[in-house]
Structure 1
Amino acid sequence: MIKKLYDFKKTQTDQKLAQRAQLSAKIERIDAEILLTQNNIDTTSVQRFGAISDFTILTMHKNTMKMHISKLEKEKDALVRQIDLLIKEIIESQKETEQYAYILEEEKQEALRKMLAEEEEASSEYVQSKYISR
C-alpha cells in the first residue's frame, strides 16, 4: 500500500513539474510578445503619404498597443501566481514522497532483520540438533 502511495505521489510531483514547465513557457511567450509590441510602439511613426498619416490615429494605435501590453502583463502576473502556488504544491508533494520513501526503506530493513533473525534461528536449531545427535 505504501508503495502505491509512494508511486502516486511521485507521479503527481512529476505532473506538477511538467505543468510548471508549461506555465513557464507561456510566460516566456508573453515576454516575447511584450518586447515585440514595445518595439512596435517605439518604431511606429508617421509617414507623409503612408497608412498612418495622422498623429491622432498614431496616438490611438500606440495606446491600443500599450493596452495590449498591460493585458499581457496582467496575464503574466496571473501565471506567475499560478507557478508560485504550484511550487508550494510541488514542495508538499515532494515532502510526502520522501516520507513514503522513508517508510518503504524502514519496511525493507524490518523485513531484512526478520529474515536474518529467522535464518539465525534456523541455523541455531541446526547446530543444536547436530550437537544433540553427537
Structure 2
Amino acid sequence: MIEKLYKLKKNQTDQKLIQKATLEQEVDKIDSEVVFTQHKIDTATVDRFGAISDFLILAMHKDTMRLHIQKLLNRKNSLVSQIANLVNEIVELQKESEQFKYILDEEKKEKFKKILAAEEEAASEYVQSKYIRG
C-alpha cells in the first residue's frame, strides 16, 4: 500500500514538472514575441506609397502593438504566478514522496532484520542440536 502511494506521488510530481516545463516554454515564447513586437515598434516608419503612409496611422499602429505587448505581459505574469503555484505543489509532493520512501526503507530494514533473526535462530538451533547429539 505504501509503495503504491509512493509511486502515485512520484507520478504526480512528474506530471507537475511536465506542466511547469510547458508553462516555462510558453513564457519563453511570450518573451520572444515581446522582443519581436518591440523591435517592430522601434523600426516602424512611414512609407510614402506603403500601407502606413500617414503619421497618424503609424501612431495608431504603434499603439496597437504596444497594447499587444501589454496583453502579452499580462499573460506572462499570469503564467509566472501559475509556475510559482506549481513549484509549491511540486515541493509538497516531493516531501510526501520522501516520507513514503522513508517508510518503505524502514519496512525493508525491518523485514531484513526479521530474516536475519530467523536465520540466526535456525543456526543456533542447528548448533545446539549438534552439541546435544555430539
| TM beyond 0.5 | yes
Q: Distance in 1 between matches of 2:10 and 2:49?
A: 63
Alignment of 1:48 onto 2:45: no
Structure-to-structure mapping, 1:9-88, within 5 angstroms = 9-88=9-88
Alignment of 1:111 onto 2:108: no
Structure-to-structure mapping, 1:84-99, within 5 angstroms = 84-99=84-99
**Structure 2: gaps spanning 5 or more residues:** none
Aligned partner letter, 1:43: T
**What is the percentage of aligned positions where both structures have the same residue?**
60
Superposition misfits of 4+ residues, deviation over 3 angstroms: none
Q: Distance in 1 between matches of 2:50 and 2:82?
A: 44
Give 1:54 deviation, angstroms: 1.0
Aligned partner letter, 1:11: N
**Structure 1: gaps spanning 5 or more residues:** none
TM-score by length of 1: 0.98
Aligned partner letter, 2:11: T
TM-score by length of 2: 0.98
Aligned partner letter, 1:33: E
Q: Distance in 2 between matches of 1:99 and 1:50?
A: 67
1:82-117: CA deviations, max 9, x gaps? Answer: 000000000001111111111111000000000000
Report what 1:132 is aligned to: 132
Aligned partner letter, 2:3: K
Look up the SS of the partner of 2:45 in the other structure.
coil
Q: Distance in 2 between matches of 1:10 and 1:47?
A: 59
Query: Cα RMSD (Å) of the superposition?
Result: 0.7
**Total equivalences in the alignment:** 134
Look up the SS of the partner of 1:47 in the other structure.
coil
Give 1:49 deviation, angstroms: 2.2
